[in-house]
Amino acid sequence: MNMDKKNNHTSSKEKQPSHNHMNHNHEENKKSASPHDFHEEHEEHVSHGGVHEHHHHGSFKEIFLRSLTFGIIIMLLSPMMGVTLPFQFSFPYSDILVSILATVLIIYGGKPFYMGAIDEFKKRVPGMMALVTLGIGVSYFYSIYAVVGGYLTGEHIMDFFFEFASLLLIMLLGHWIEMKAVGEAGDAQKALAELMPKDADIVLEDDSIESRPVSQLQVGDVIRVQAGENIPADGVIQRGQSRVNESLLTGESKPIEKNTGDKVIGGSTNNEGVLYVEVQETGDKSFISQVQTLISQAQDQPSRAENLANKVASWLFYVAIAAAVIAFTVWLFLTDVQTAVLFTVTTLVIACPHALGLAIPLVVARSTSLGASRGLLVKNREALELATKADVMILDKTGTLTTGEFKVLNAETLSKIYSTDEVLALMVGIEGGSSHPIAQSIVGYAENKRVKPINFDSIDVVSGAGVEGETNGHRYELISQKAFGQKIEFDVPKGATVSYLVEEGKVIGAVALGDELKATSKELMNVLKSQGIKPIMATGDNEKAAKGVAEELGIEYRANQSPQDKYDLVESLKNEGKTVIMVGDGVNDAPSLALADVGVAIGAGTQVALDSADVILTQSDPGDIESFIELANKTTRKMRQNLIWGAGYNFIAIPIAAGILAPIGITLAPALGAVLMSVSTVIVAINAMTLKLKS
């Protein structure tokens, strides 16, 4: 299994696949933390979608609630663009009190925005934070000038404290709503590290056992792993035999029989028996650590989301600055400094994005609520935008398209003498007491059919073939199709494992076992194809099982896929310019979930997969992906509508506020500008609430 570490900026790479070894190349000056070092060196990670981009500037909930009292008092004491509203009042020196409260508010409540604006200017992409900072900065400083100037000259100068406070509170509220809606991103690497046990039982030279922390394991150590325990490190079995469950790590749907000389992966589970394993890989060369490295690389890559709201805010920022400069220059030439300043400030205040600030958060909140009611948890809102542009959807097989359980798909009699129930009773009897996955599947199937087992006088294991036994003087064998050497015609689902019940050399019954398709998988494939999204199944399962499921679904597939292979598949498709959705549930899916433009995790999967994904299907039903696509399309449509309403007002009002129509006697009075601003905000709120999904 090749999991070579790669440079993020290299699009073409040499790949040397080997399913028996895991190679690891170190990058210069870059250390990959092992699962055991992770907790010491862990830094707060930001989801690769970027929803929490400004979260580190403070808790918007806390800042909003603490700023609310100051803001309300300011709006009660300050006219709205020169117009005193019915609920407002004033008293001697109330403007001094307002100035003090506004100063406290801009220092505390405004900090997330001007810190965010600094980030945007450093990246040379001014957006929403820059626009908000412009609005609150201009309205605050001009208002302070108006108060001071009023006391110095004795003349009343209109201030904009109301607009300053209302904009700041609305923007804080909008960001809080969005953060609350999408929630915090989980920590995939931490969850991955927790798959590994903390201690290992080391076998000493005198065959005694000593318990040591897994972090102290060295290559060559021999460790004892008892039934039910997770294997502490990658290694080779020295003695013992068992079946090891690697499904969470590799995607293989059934426990794999392991004997002396076979390799095992750290983090997989020893189902039965005692294994003595010689450690081959530790630290950053282990399977788990290399998956961590892939996840880290994926999360470091920039998002491909357009982030339409920031683009609109960026355009609005430049339009406002340009309009203000033109207004000041023209009015200074035509009139005087005071008139030019008033037109300039009014232009910039009119540009305050009240409606724009709520346009996206209100839609996100409504969308998140609707999604949750359908079993869809959207952790990253940009996933909704990207899903509407999806070209390819890569889906894991085990646990995603299939149930992930090895079970009986069909059992039939192939004899005129025995009925199907009689054949099944013989199969259950001969498998009595066995813990083998095939045996357990047949027993469970018979119990559901209410078929009681026939008691056998003797039962023996046929090495590598199956079991044989005797009852009522007849000898029966339940052996694999391969061991029997012939293929008998009966209804076998594609990709199933077949065993025959044989009496005295003659086949009297057959049972087909495999990983069953989920009920909604076929319909999902049809929906994806109808919407122009190409489905590809990528599974760690074997070629036969993968081919059977893919043919039944009528889709392209990749078998024997390691985490590196899935990662490479996603990366190659993205390098082709395609927008990729990845759907999975296991550790082996986590790196590709993080790398994909949109990662969708099945809710019954591992915590690692859930933490790496942008969207979680809590009901583990692939049919819910159809609901997610619908939610993405409708949410994005609402976002665009709200951006048109929220920004459209600004693009029209700004030139008028700057006085472009003054020569023909049309100007935008501040009071009318305030009314239009309020109407625009109400419209985006109502539009957001009309978002609905098909029942």
Give the residue numbers annotated as catalytic, written as ranges: 396
State how far the Cα of 589 lies from the Cα of 287, in Å rounded to an integer.
13
Return the residue matching tokens 């201030």.
159
Structure tokens at 16: 């040397």
Six-digit token pair at 65? 């609630």
Other beta carbons less than 10 A from residue 551's beta carbon? 12
Residue 560 burial class via C-beta count within 10 angstroms: exposed 0-12, middle 13-18, buried 19 and up: middle
In DSSP terms, which residues pair with 276 in a beta bridge? 224, 239
User: Residue 462 pairs with which residues in a beta bridge?
Assistant: 466
- As beta bridge partners, residue 536 has 394, 556
CA distance 75 to 78: 5
End-to-end CA separation in angstroms for the chain: 45
Give dist(CA 638, CA 362) in Å, integer.
10
Question: Coil, helix or strand for 87?
Answer: coil
Residue with tokens 């060559």: 220
Residue 466 region by backbone torsions, left for phi larger than 0, else alpha for psi between -120 and 50, else beta = left
Residue 557, C-beta contacts closer than 8 angstroms, at least 6 positions apart? 536, 537, 538, 539, 546, 547, 549, 550
The DSSP line for 177-204 is: HHHHHH-----HHHHHHTTS-SEEEEE-
Phi/psi at 504 (5° precision): 50, 45
Give, to the nearest 10 degrees, the angle between helix 354-373 and helix 624-657.
170
* Structural contact between residues 273 and 227, judged by C-beta atoms closer than 8 angstroms: yes
What lies within 8 Å, CB to CB, of 328 at 6+ separation is 340, 341, 343, 344
| Residue 506 backbone dihedrals phi, psi, to 5 degrees | -115, 130
Structure tokens at 346: 């009014």
The one-character DSSP state at 456 is P
Q: How far apart are CA 185 and CA 310, in angstroms?
A: 21
Quote the DSSP letter at residue 215: G
What one-character-per-residue DSSP string does 351-397 give? T--HHHHHHHHHHHHHHHHHHHHTTEEES-THHHHHHTT--EEEE-I
Sign, CA dihedral 503-507-513-516, equals: negative
Find all residues with CB under 8 Å of 31, minimum gap 6, and list them. 284
Asked if 224 contacts 276 with a C-beta cutoff of 8 angstroms, the reply is yes
How many whole angstroms separate alpha carbon 219 and alpha carbon 228? 23
Residues 606-625: b if buried by 16+ CB within 10 A, e if exposed: bbbbbbbbbbbbbebbbbbb
